[in-house]
Amino acid sequence: MTKLVILDRDGVINEDSDHYIRSADEWIPIPGSIEAIAKLSQVGYKIAIATNQSGLARGYFGITELDAMHDKLTTLVREQGGDISGIYYCPHGPDDDCQCRKPKTGLIDQIFTDVDAVRGDTWVIGDSLRDLQAGQDSGCKVALVLTGKGLKTQAKLIEHPEELSGTRDVPVYNNLFSFVEAMLSEGF
């Protein structure tokens, strides 16, 4: 069976912006994130990205710009000796009521259609509540990173634990690199 880790993009792999990442030049990896993805890939994990990209629906950037961002990501990972199995994105806005916009599970469901992996053995790593909700509702294990919106998400979960069932069990890491280091050293 395939070992799989699903990552959010903005705030987990690359720096996030309240004004949206609109070009490959604005797409800046968080220190250690590219190396972390490569390391997971090198030890046999498939890596999939599940990302909401409402900037498309809002007209902030087009598919050409989004493809350039993803080309930059995959190239950087390949240069470190890793591979990304797929990048899945929701192009819709928050009012479009689609099934692929997290916290709904459509993106993750699509990943499991394409990758033969066990949901209960798969990690979903995110910096926002909607990432964690989508992962949990998909039957996956979830972890929060404190990069991007992670600190705000952690504060919200402490103040309102009802937002995510099993909140006390959600592991928290400083960044993607620290998650991967812990995962590989502790074997979880």
Q: Which residues of 27-38 are buried (b: 16+ CB within 10 A; e: fewer)?
A: bebbebbbbbbb
pTM of the model: 0.96
Domain boundaries, the chain: 3-186
∠17-18-19 over CA atoms, to 5°?
85
Q: pLDDT tens across 44-95, in order?
A: 999 999 999 999 999 999 999 999 999 999 999 999 999 999 999 999 999 9
Size of the chain, expressed as the number of residues it contains: 188
pLDDT at res. 168: 57
Q: Which residues of the chain have pLDDT under 50?
A: none
Q: Pick the catalytic residue: 8, 16, 127, 131? A: 8
- Half-sphere CA count of 79, side-chain side, radius 13 A: 7
Cα(20)–Cα(23) distance, rounded to whole angstroms?
Answer: 9
pLDDT at res. 6: 98
Q: Pick the catalytic residue: 10, 16, 127, 131? A: 10
pLDDT at res. 62: 97
Query: In this structure, what token pair is assigned to residue 60?
Result: 């902030």
* Residue 12 CB contacts under 8 Å (≥ 6 apart), including other chains: 30, 33, 125, 126, 127, 131, 145, 147, 148, 176
Question: Are residues 51 and 12 in contact, defined by beta-carbon separation less than 8 angstroms?
Answer: no
10 catalytic per annotation: yes
Q: Domain 3-186 adopts which CATH fold?
A: Rossmann fold (3.40.50)
Query: In this structure, what token pair is assigned to residue 188?
Result: 């979880």
137 catalytic per annotation: no
DSSP 151: H
